[in-house]
Amino acid sequence: MDAGSSHTALYIYEWPAEKDNNTGRVEQTHLCKVKGPGISSYASAPVKAGESLRLCMEEAKQWVPGKRHHQTPLYLGATAGMRLLNMANSSASDKVFQAVEGALQKFPFSYQGAKIISGQDEGAFGWITVNYLDERLKQGLETRGALDLGGASTQISFVSDNYDGSESPSNSVTFRLYGNDYNLYTHSFLCYGKDQSLRMMQAHQSQAGPATVLDPCFHPGYTATKNYSVLYDSPCVSDRKPKDAPDTFTHIGIGDFLQCQAAVKSVFNFTSCKYSRCSFNGVLQPLLQGPYGAFSAYYFVMNFLNLTDTSVPLEDVKEKLKRYCATNWDQIMQQHPEVKLKYLAEYCFSGTYILTLLTEGYNFTSESYSDIKFIKKIKGSDAGWTLGYMLNLTNMIPAEAPDTPLLPHPGYVSVVSVIAVLLFILFIVSLRPLWPRCSKQPQIV
């Protein structure tokens, strides 16, 4: 189970129960999205966090054959929402885990625990998922970097030839998989998921605590009354809460992409770097290299905006987004009556944030932008950290390359069958001297 900051999802993975489970045949067979918010939102009513998982767990009981329930390991990993709750109020986060644990243990699966996973693991397992599903690991091919944009944090992970890990060990993960060594660069930026970065930007815009906030990242015609205490209720912004601010402010959209880009840039710090090169906030980042898969909110947002085609020049992408942001809110709502209003109101901001993070933050250029592919699934399985996490915990990826069989499995079956038939014929033939003679007796008259 992926207990994310914005929601929890339950994934069911399946593979043949033969001994040869090193052959990259793990598949996602079901996804259940838990109704309601992520578990970290239940800090003031922890029991409800456990209850929220029940429906998906019931579904899992239907999907996994009854006789396999007890043999099916169940893991829950929580990401940035619980990291933030743990920072702000560790006893509240413990209570949420107790409630979740109590609820999950009531089910017949082999419960293996619920925990917060580190940002490094989140990045590294996302990278493993993408490259496992692409069969790049097994075949020792060039790997694909992984870009994950969540609600509360964002991860970048890739292999770069000139990176040996010694400059910043906390950004380095080494693996030996299928006989190949990988030295992976990975970083997770807490607070730089799209929901928390929106808060950071709005906190920046409303430093003086005005009663009205004019926001270039929301459409012209958009107005909403918002609560200062809700906006500042996160460790990502809590230290910036203006004193003497009114309880509420009126949030008014003005839909100006260039101003929005400038406002988004204000959440990144580019001033100092003690390494050979940095992305932002003084974090080491080696030279970008190879192709990249960008998933979760990268995909949701760029897919909605019809901007998943990265062969379109970056300047044209920006131009399209500029026009989209300037479109009147009424018109946007009329064009997309089926989309949740919260998502709809934020696509201009989210698209601008994504382009700014990629180009200003990670240093993708007009040329290297086309190395990115926005993806949701690979061969039917969702891109995300859960598959890599599960493969690791069940020891499904061997360090050494498995002995490569001379023939694939069906080939063996045919050869063995032919040999068995030949041996049988040989056996029958070898019994020939013992056969009763059936020579014709001369008839005695």
Residue numbers in the known binding site for ATP are 151-155
Catalytic residue among 122, 167, 319, 367: 122
Query: What, of ligand GTP, Ca ion, none, does residue 253 touch, CB below 5 to 8 Å by kind?
Result: none
Q: Site residues (CB under 6 A) for ligand GTP?
A: 4-7, 38, 79-81, 150-153, 193-195, 296-297, 300, 304, 343
Q: Which residue has its beta carbon closest to Ca ion?
A: 150
Give whichever of 31 and 47 is closer to Ca ion, judged by the CB atom: 31
Query: What, of ligand GTP, Ca ion, none, does residue 152 touch, CB below 5 to 8 Å by kind?
Result: ligand GTP
- Give the burial class of 442: count Cβ atoms within 10 A of its Cβ; 0-12 exposed, 13-18 middle, 19 or more buried: exposed
Q: How far is the CB of 110 from ligand GTP (least distance, A)?
A: 25
Q: Is 24 in the site for Ca ion (CB under 5 A)?
A: no
Angle at 440 between CA 438 and CA 441, to 5 degrees: 115
Instruction: Tell me the residue ranges of DSSP E strands in 320-441.
Output: 372-374, 377-378, 381-382
Q: Can you give the three-state secondary structure of 274-292, one letter per residue?
A: CCCCECCCCCECCCCCCCE
Q: How far is the CB of 20 from ligand GTP (least distance, A)?
A: 33
Give whichever of 117 and 177 is closer to ligand GTP, judged by the CB atom: 117
Query: What, of Ca ion, ligand GTP, none, does residue 388 touch, CB below 5 to 8 Å by kind?
Result: none
Q: Which of 219, 251, 252, 253 is nearest to 328 (CA)?
A: 219
Q: What residues are designated binding site?
A: 151-155
Give whichever of 12 and 273 is closer to ligand GTP, judged by the CB atom: 12
Q: What is the DSSP letter of 1?
A: -
153-159 vs 172-177, strand pairing mode = unpaired
54-61 own/partner pairs: CB under 8 Å, 24+ apart: 54/103, 56/1, 56/8, 56/10, 56/32, 57/10, 57/103, 57/104, 57/107, 59/10, 59/30, 59/32, 60/10, 60/12, 60/30, 60/32, 60/107, 60/109, 61/107, 61/108
Q: Which stretch binds Ca ion (CB under 5 A): 85-93, 145-153, 278-286, 327-335?
A: 145-153
Q: Is 4 in the site for Ca ion (CB under 5 A)?
A: yes
Q: How far apart are CA 5 and CA 81, in angstroms?
A: 4
Helix (H, G, I), strand (E, B) or coil at 327: coil
Q: Which stretch binds Ca ion (CB under 5 A): 143-151, 263-271, 298-306, 404-412?
A: 143-151
Q: How far apart are CA 203 and CA 233, in angstroms?
A: 11
Query: What, of ligand GTP, Ca ion, none, does residue 297 touch, CB below 5 to 8 Å by kind?
Result: ligand GTP
Q: Is the dihedral of CA 192, 195, 200, 205 positive or negative?
A: positive
Q: How far apart are CA 249 and CA 223, in angstroms?
A: 10
User: Pick from 50, 77, 150, 351: which binds Ca ion (CB under 5 A)?
Assistant: 150
Q: How far apart are CA 141 and CA 131, in angstroms?
A: 9
Give whichever of 212 and 303 is closer to ligand GTP, judged by the CB atom: 303
- Examine the residue annotation and report whether 135 is marked as an active-site residue of this protein: no
Give whichever of 153 and 202 is closer to ligand GTP, judged by the CB atom: 153
Give whichever of 9 and 254 is closer to ligand GTP, judged by the CB atom: 9
Which sequence positions are flagged as catalytic?
122
- What residue ranges bind Ca ion (CB under 5 A)? 4, 150
